[in-house]
């Protein structure tokens, strides 16, 4: 993703160790189309590649955080296109966001519905403005939550909560979402980005390596890419051993390594 311009539907700004991703399609309530999903993936990749980034914030422009997947984008897809393109691509991108090496804060400046709630669920923390509504309305139009609404949301919010939102189509207020554990805090209208920055500052005050590893371990406990987390941590540990130094040195000298088991 190049430096954002005003017309970009997803914008990424990095400054002072904080990356801010903004959904910028307010005329469509930030409903996600193919371009936006692809740009979200590019933003996640850029954040993971940038060693200066230690925390990220995800928010929306205008009155909504995200109204979900744009029906105009998926409504005419064939069954094969729906599964292989729309759903699979969304899963891949949302997984990238959930598995960022740095903590992600979702600043819900307005409604988070359907795919918007699934997007918010990729974050480690969710802060919500008081006027926002939250729900999974897909079954009301004969569709199901397709971007891990029945999977990641169950792991993070509990099956009982997801049943209410999906099977009954319950749309909850910000305060109700707080009581159900869907969001971590509710703030006044217009103040969510400032609240997210305060949380970001608290994250920045912690040890960056410890924070990254702690996030990976918490994700693994939730079943979020546990296999990769194990290999990441194990690989980091082994890389510090004298055996690795001996093996790499011997390879460079084209010699047989002599390992000491340390």
pLDDT digits (tens, 9 = 90+) for 122-134: 999 999 999 999 9
Please indicate, yes or no, if residue 241 is contained in any of the structural domains.
yes
User: What pLDDT digit, counting tens, does each position of 159-184 carry?
Assistant: 999 999 999 999 999 999 999 999 99
Can you list the positions of beta strands (E) in 87-164? 104-108, 111-113, 125-129, 133-135
The pLDDT of residue 70: 81
Whether 199 and 243 share a structural domain: no
- Is 0.85 topped by the overall pTM? yes
Please indicate, yes or no, if residue 242 is contained in any of the structural domains.
yes
Q: What is the dihedral of CA 239, 245, 251, 257, to 10 degrees?
A: -110
Supply the CATH number for residue 189's domain: 3.90.226.10
- Catalytic: which of 27, 42, 118, 201? 118
Domain count of the fold of the chain: 2
Please indicate, yes or no, if residue 166 is contained in any of the structural domains.
yes
Report the distance separating Cα 91 and Cα 118, nearest Å: 10
Whether 91 and 174 share a structural domain: yes
Whether 146 and 55 share a structural domain: yes
Whether 169 and 222 share a structural domain: no
The reply to whether 118 belongs to the active site is yes
The reply to whether 231 belongs to the active site is no
Given a cut of 80, is residue 64 above it in pLDDT?
yes
- Catalytic: which of 27, 34, 129, 138? 138
Find the domain containing 21 and state its range.
10-204
The pLDDT of residue 239: 76
Instruction: Identify whether the C-beta of residue 4 lies closer than 8 Å to the C-beta of residue 40.
Output: no
Whether 158 and 240 share a structural domain: no
Residue 5 banded pLDDT, cuts 50, 70, 90: low
Please indicate, yes or no, if residue 136 is contained in any of the structural domains.
yes
Whether 62 and 176 share a structural domain: yes
Report the distance separating Cα 78 and Cα 101, nearest Å: 35
How far is C-alpha 31 from the chain's CA centre? 16
Q: Starting at the edge strand that comes first in sequence, how are the strands of the sheet with 111-113 ordered?
A: 64-66, 111-113, 133-135, 172-173
Whether 107 and 176 share a structural domain: yes
Which of these ranges, 44-58, 98-112, 130-144, 218-232, has the smallest mean pLDDT?
A: 218-232
Please indicate, yes or no, if residue 4 is contained in any of the structural domains.
no
Residue 229 banded pLDDT, cuts 50, 70, 90: low
Please indicate, yes or no, if residue 262 is contained in any of the structural domains.
no
Please indicate, yes or no, if residue 54 is contained in any of the structural domains.
yes
Whether 33 and 101 share a structural domain: yes
Whether 222 and 191 share a structural domain: no
Share of residues in the chain with pLDDT > 90 (%)? 69
Sign of the torsion formed by the C-alpha atoms of 35, 47, 212 and 249: positive
Whether 198 and 231 share a structural domain: no
Whether 45 and 109 share a structural domain: yes
């Amino acid at each position: 993703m190049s430096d954002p311009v005003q017309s970009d539907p997803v914008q990424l700004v990095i400054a002072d160790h904080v990356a801010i991703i903004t959904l910028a399609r307010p005329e469509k309530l930030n409903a996600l189309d193919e371009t936006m999903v692809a740009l979200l993936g590019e933003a996640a990749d850029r954040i993971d590649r940038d060693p200066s980034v230690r925390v990220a914030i995800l928010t929306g422009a205008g009155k909504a955080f995200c109204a979900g997947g744009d029906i105009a984008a998926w409504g005419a897809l064939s069954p094969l296109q729906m599964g292989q393109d729309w759903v699979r691509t969304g899963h891949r991108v949302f997984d990238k966001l959930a598995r960022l090496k740095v903590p992600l804060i979702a600043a819900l400046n307005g409604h988070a519905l359907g795919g918007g709630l699934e997007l918010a669920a990729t974050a480690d923390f969710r802060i919500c403005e008081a006027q926002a509504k939250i729900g999974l309305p897909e079954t009301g139009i004969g569709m199901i939550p397709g971007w891990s609404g029945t999977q990641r949301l169950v792991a993070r919010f509990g099956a009982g909560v997801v049943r209410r939102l999906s099977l009954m189509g319950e749309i909850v207020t910000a305060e109700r979402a707080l009581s159900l554990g869907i969001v971590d805090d509710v703030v006044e209208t217009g103040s969510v980005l400032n609240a997210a920055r305060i949380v970001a500052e608290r994250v920045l005050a912690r040890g960056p390596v410890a924070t990254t590893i702690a996030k990976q371990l918490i994700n693994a406990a939730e079943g979020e890419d546990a296999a990769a987390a194990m290999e990441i941590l194990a690989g980091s540990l082994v890389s510090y051993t004298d055996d690795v130094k001996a093996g790499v040195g011997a390879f460079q000298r084209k010699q047989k390594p002599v390992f000491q088991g340390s």
